[in-house]
Structure 1
């Protein structure tokens, strides 16, 4: 997470936006349903600017016992981006779309399984609409990622440039430079070279304005005050070893308390589990460990009748 925060902060000053207008009716999410027809419903929400394809292998395995609703957020995977007012929140818009989907499809207490920035979307959904969801599993996602090392840090403390000014700084980076930069980052987020190419292709497909706004919002959002509204326990699957590139003396013993402190206000409690070798895209690097922990959570917290 710490490595991701550094790269996100750096990306804010470099990433290209290519805003394109679409009709206001653009759906905020698209969902593919796979797996057991009458299985327990899981909502799989991707992070970074990955589409639902990020969960392809995970959903294939979880789908043997569960019903997987694989989410693609607007603006990723080649889908049309949202057109929002400057004061609107991407996270809130996506979260409301998840809630609307649950209600429209009469899903009974689905479990949110979400990655990175998608985890912030899931936390927003689970705190804004706590009555709708039956569980929350976060993969390398925190309620206030900017405040991992300093819990007293607030969004205002970041002293980021004005939103419009900052986004305007991101418009002129050529595609070739953008992809070169993203490749550098992605090579630290995923260990397998084939998977690195896969993630890079998702970066290339994504709407750049969507990515820029999501990154900005991740840096200026603090969901910790909303955590007491959670009615379900939280499982956070995290990583730490990548952070040694920035902080050589880093250890799991140092990182775990930082993550636990972030989730200390969770209304139904939270548990943090770290992997010693995985990187940010743990479902690609360590799929067995990731799926095993999700299954353990589901077994420990069965569906409510």
Structure 2
């Protein structure tokens, strides 16, 4: 009997640890009432990047604002990071019965939205992808093979070993290509610096490994893709998206002039109006 009690206690304790770890994978803030919208930010970015948009949307929609583990001051989780994030978001949508939800995702958040839209169990309404690709690694790495991307690599080890000064210099350089506004560049830099370093390094490996180009064939709901024209120019952007989304049957494609990767920071008024227009369409 004593052994049985100990076994039961151990089982309950294991469940509580699992629940704790599961809940830490994503942090969610819910506001507003109406049809559900799930908003997923990009890599290193906290959910509050959506605040200006949510301020308007919450009048008519129930907004579920996501922050991913290791970013925005949240606790890191065990690796592999991205597969756990994907599954947690899928479970969150199912467990909260978010029928016909719309997902808005920026960058990595848009890639995750693509993965979610390809899942048979989820009955989503539409997805809106903001400067997001289904296979970023294939664009960035010659002879791309996900199997070749591992955590224990010289590049990753160098990133982990950087002192704070060197890492801040790296973050500053990266931020300058992601927005045309100095104030936004400062925000982006700080989000990188505030992220958990190991999540930043290994999580990016997870991101580059993910290739959803075949999964696109499973998506039948409406998709809107919004792409920034800078810094590569409109023609190159058009070709890149055409190649990456070749397996997606139908989608609405919008290129934003005079904007870099963080469109919501570079062109906030335009972005807000565009989101309202897309959400109000069938």
Structure 2: runs of 5+ lacking an equivalent:
1-16
Question: 1:68 and 1:107 mapped to 2: Cα distance?
Answer: 11
Deviations 1:194-253 (A, max 9, x none): 22222222112111111112321232221001111113121111012212xxxxxxx413
Question: 1:276 and 1:203 mapped to 2: Cα distance?
Answer: 26
- 1:29 is the counterpart of 2:26: yes
Question: 1:149 and 1:252 mapped to 2: Cα distance?
Answer: 18
Task: Return the structure number with greater relative CO, CA threshold 8 A, min gap 6.
Answer: 1
SS in 2 for 1:179: helix
What corresponds to 2:68 in structure 1?
A: 73
- 1:188 is the counterpart of 2:210: no
TM-score normalised according to structure 2 size: 0.84
- Residue 91 of structure 1, CA deviation: 2.7
- 1:165 is the counterpart of 2:153: yes
- 1:283 is the counterpart of 2:264: yes
Task: Provide the aligned C-alpha RMSD in A.
Answer: 2.3
What corresponds to 2:166 in structure 1?
A: 177
Question: 1:225 and 1:48 mapped to 2: Cα distance?
Answer: 23
User: Among 178, 183, 198, which residue is 2:187 paired with?
Assistant: 198
- Residue 298 of structure 1, CA deviation: 1.8
Larger relative helix fraction: 2
SS in 2 for 1:69: strand
Question: 1:72 and 1:274 mapped to 2: Cα distance?
Answer: 26
Bigger radius of gyration among the two: 2
- 1:60 is the counterpart of 2:60: no
Deviations 1:71-100 (A, max 9, x none): 00011111111112xxx4x33221211121
Provide closer, same or farther for how the CA distance between residues 149 and 205 of structure 1 changes in structure 2, counting only shifts above 3 A. closer
Provide closer, same or farther for how the CA distance between residues 91 and 197 of structure 1 changes in structure 2, counting only shifts above 3 A. same
Aligned length: 262
* Native 8 Å contact 2:94 2:122 kept in 1: no
SS in 2 for 1:114: strand
